[in-house]
Structure 1
Amino acid sequence: MDGDELTEILEDAGLSPYQSDAYVTLLGLGSASATDIAQASDVPDPRIYDVLRGLEEAGYIETYEQDSLHARAHDPANVLADLRSRATRFETAANEIEDRWSRPDLEEHKVSIVKRLDTVLARADELIRSATNQVQIGLTPAQFDELSDALTAAHESGVDVKICLFPLTTTETDVPSRESLADACTEARYRNLPSPFVALVDRSWTCFSPHGQSTNEYGVIVNDRTHTYVFHWYFLTCLWEIHDTIYSARGDDPPITYVDLRQCLRDVEPLLEDGATIEATVYGFETDTGREVTRRGTITDLTYTGHSTVDGQQTALFHLAGKASLTLATDDGTYTVGGWGAMLEDYEATRITIESID
């Protein structure tokens, strides 16, 4: 680095141009009279004394009398510490600018657009770890590897985790091992076409980014139940309903837990038609007050706006896209139970456990 460049950097650090010039000159001279410093630098003779006193006050040099005013540079330890501190602050500011550019403050926005997939995955990791009820996620095997620790933590804490895996390209065939899936999820399915990354957490958060072959890289992070409900139906219809199950921890015997009322209705309907008595516990909220409730009783009826089952076949999902609910008879009354976004029913169920089937 030459003297001119060093002088410019010292100006950036807070010295005036004359102070920077005088200090760099004095570093080369070691110690010198004020007159010699002025002659060796570009500082005018009338200004040199003020410039040296300013450098002394800033801790860069010390002055002394020896027939005339002389100066010498201080031990540079303090100067170096100050410059390195400034460098650290600049680096911190650069990182903060980059972070704010790529990730707006999520606390002040319901919908945030971010510029990188890494930001979406990092936010998904945080949200999955804090989940309390359910996670629905569509991702590539590589993204599964990146988020597997978070998914495992959620699964181990009792969160219902549904995973749809898909390839990054049409030629990719690798999938995680059954053991890895068993640690990380309740059920996993496989779609053989590349798809966007999407993660839905506790009916409130969505993290979304286009698939890896997209020409545009961006992400959407949503903190809103209505938007997330739309993504939920995308997940059900495009990533879940028609694809093969590659792992499932769900058994056929009670207790059987559902986080989706519509899936519960599909399984319960043929049992009711056969005259079974079904005991269930409903966890959720009162739709009029938002108060959390837990009710145990007997499922006595179910309703939905589509067509009923035909020849014992499970009702198609699209028949349940409208109003759907079940009726629960308890010791203190009979209640209607709806699913995600319920408004007309007594309760919105977040989880339903079938306790017994007789």
Structure 2
Amino acid sequence: MDGDELRNTLEDAGLSPYQADAFVTLLELGSAPATDLAQASSVPDPRIYDVLRGLEDEGYIETYEQDSLHARAHDPADVLADLRTRADRFETAADEIENRWSRPDIKEHKVSIVKRLDTVLAQADELIRSATNQVQIGLTPAQFEDLADALAVALENGVDVKICLFPPTVGDPELPDERTLARTCTEARYRALPSPFLALVDRSWACFSPHVDSTNEYGVIVNDRTHAYVFHWYFLTCLWEVHETIYAGQRDEPPITYVDLRQCIRDVVPLLDEGYSIEATIRGFETDTGREVTKRGRITDATYAGVATNDGRPAPLAQLAGEASVTLATDDDRYTVGGWGAMIEDFEGVRITIESIDR
């Protein structure tokens, strides 16, 4: 750094142009009378004494009398500490500006648009770790590596985790093996086409970003059940329903847990038609009050808009998009239970556990 750059930097640190010039000149001279310092620098003679007093007050120099006023540079330790503190503050300010630019405060907004995929992944990681019921996520192998620890935490906490993996891009790791999938999800499927990143958490949060080869890099973070419901149907129809299962950890024998009422209907309707008695525990919310409830009883009926297939199973998922509910008979009453977004039923079922299946 030459003398001019040093002067400019000292001005950025708070010195006036005369103070910066006088201090750099004094560093070169070591010590000097005030009049000689004025002649060697750009400071006018009438101003030199005020400039030196200002530098002394700031801790940069010290003055002493020796026939006339002399000055010498002060021990630089304090000055250097101050400059380094200022540098740290500038660095911190730069980081904070970058953070605020790329990541608005999502707590104050229903929908946030962010600039970078990294921001979306960071938010998804945080949400997945705090999930209580379900996670649905579509991602590349590289993104899976970034979020694997968070997914493992969710699964360990009893959360239903469904993963759809996309083809690796250049430089991506290979698809995770079965042991890794068993540690991180309830079920995994594979879609052989590049797709956007999507994470849905507890029916409330959605984190979305275009696929990595898109010309535009941005992200959408949504904290709204209605918007999340739309993304949920995108996940079911485009990332889940028709794709190959590469790992399944779901139990085949009771207790069997569902977080999607429509999937439960597809499995229990044939059993009801064959005369089986199905005991279930349903956890959810009253649709009129929002109060959390847990009910145990017998599933006696299922209602859905589609038409059953020849083997007695309900129609494909698309025909279950309308009204879909089950009737639960308890010791004290009968209740209708709907799925995500239920309005006309008694309860919105969040988690349905089939406890037993008997003739």
Q: TM-score range by the shorter chain?
A: over 0.9
| Separation (CA, whole Å) in 2 of partners of 1:335 and 1:133 | 22
Give the stretch that moved more between structures: 122-131 or 229-238: 122-131
Give the TM-score, by structure 2 length: 0.97
Secondary structure, aligned partner of 1:212: coil
Secondary structure, aligned partner of 2:322: coil
Tell me the residue number matched to 1:292: 292
| Separation (CA, whole Å) in 2 of partners of 1:338 and 1:78 | 70
Check conservation: 1:170, 1:194, Cα contact below 8 A: no
Tell me the residue number matched to 1:75: 75
Tell me the residue number matched to 1:140: 140
| Separation (CA, whole Å) in 2 of partners of 1:329 and 1:298 | 5
- 1:14: Cα distance to partner? 0.4
- Correspondences of 1:1-358 after superposition (within 5 Å): 1-169=1-169, 174-358=174-358
**CA distance 1:315–1:173, shift in 2 (3 Å):** farther
- 1:38: Cα distance to partner? 0.2
- 1:173: Cα distance to partner? 9.7
Q: Deviations over 1:201-254 (max 9, x none)?
A: 001111111112211111111111111000000000000000111111112210
**CA distance 1:170–1:306, shift in 2 (3 Å):** farther
**CA distance 1:301–1:313, shift in 2 (3 Å):** closer
| Separation (CA, whole Å) in 2 of partners of 1:182 and 1:140 | 17
> Residue 123 of structure 1 aligns to which amino acid in structure 2?
Q
| Separation (CA, whole Å) in 2 of partners of 1:56 and 1:172 | 59
- 1:169: Cα distance to partner? 4.5
| Separation (CA, whole Å) in 2 of partners of 1:314 and 1:286 | 26
- 1:174: Cα distance to partner? 3.4
Report how many residues are paired. 358
> Residue 264 of structure 1 aligns to which amino acid in structure 2?
C
> Residue 301 of structure 1 aligns to which amino acid in structure 2?
D
- 1:10: Cα distance to partner? 0.4
Q: Deviations over 1:4-58 (max 9, x none)?
A: 1111110000011111111111111111111011000000000000000011111
| Separation (CA, whole Å) in 1 of partners of 2:225 and 2:80 | 53
| Separation (CA, whole Å) in 2 of partners of 1:13 and 1:297 | 73
**CA distance 1:173–1:152, shift in 2 (3 Å):** closer
Secondary structure, aligned partner of 2:135: strand
Residue ranges of structure 2 left out of the alignment (5+ in a row) = none
| Separation (CA, whole Å) in 2 of partners of 1:63 and 1:143 | 62
Check conservation: 2:287, 2:346, Cα contact below 8 A: yes
Q: Deviations over 1:299-346 (max 9, x none)?
A: 011111222333334421011101111110111211111111111111
| Separation (CA, whole Å) in 1 of partners of 2:306 and 2:312 | 16
Identity of aligned residues (%): 77
| Separation (CA, whole Å) in 2 of partners of 1:174 and 1:44 | 71
| Separation (CA, whole Å) in 1 of partners of 2:76 and 2:106 | 44
> Residue 27 of structure 1 aligns to which amino acid in structure 2?
L
**CA distance 1:217–1:168, shift in 2 (3 Å):** farther
- 1:140: Cα distance to partner? 1.0
Give the stretch that moved more between structures: 206-215 or 307-316: 307-316
- 1:110: Cα distance to partner? 1.1
Secondary structure, aligned partner of 1:125: helix
Q: Say what the alpha-carbon RMSD is for the aligned residues.
A: 1.4
| Separation (CA, whole Å) in 2 of partners of 1:123 and 1:3 | 47
Secondary structure, aligned partner of 1:122: helix
Secondary structure, aligned partner of 2:217: coil
Check conservation: 1:32, 1:70, Cα contact below 8 A: yes
Q: Deviations over 1:252-290 (max 9, x none)?
A: 210000000000011011111111110000001111111
Check conservation: 2:137, 2:200, Cα contact below 8 A: yes
Check conservation: 1:168, 1:212, Cα contact below 8 A: no
**Segments of 4+ moved more than 6 angstroms:** 170-173
**CA distance 1:204–1:233, shift in 2 (3 Å):** same
**CA distance 1:81–1:210, shift in 2 (3 Å):** same
Secondary structure, aligned partner of 2:251: coil
| Separation (CA, whole Å) in 2 of partners of 1:39 and 1:244 | 84
Give the stretch that moved more between structures: 236-245 or 140-149: 140-149
Residue ranges of structure 1 left out of the alignment (5+ in a row) = none
Check conservation: 2:26, 2:72, Cα contact below 8 A: yes
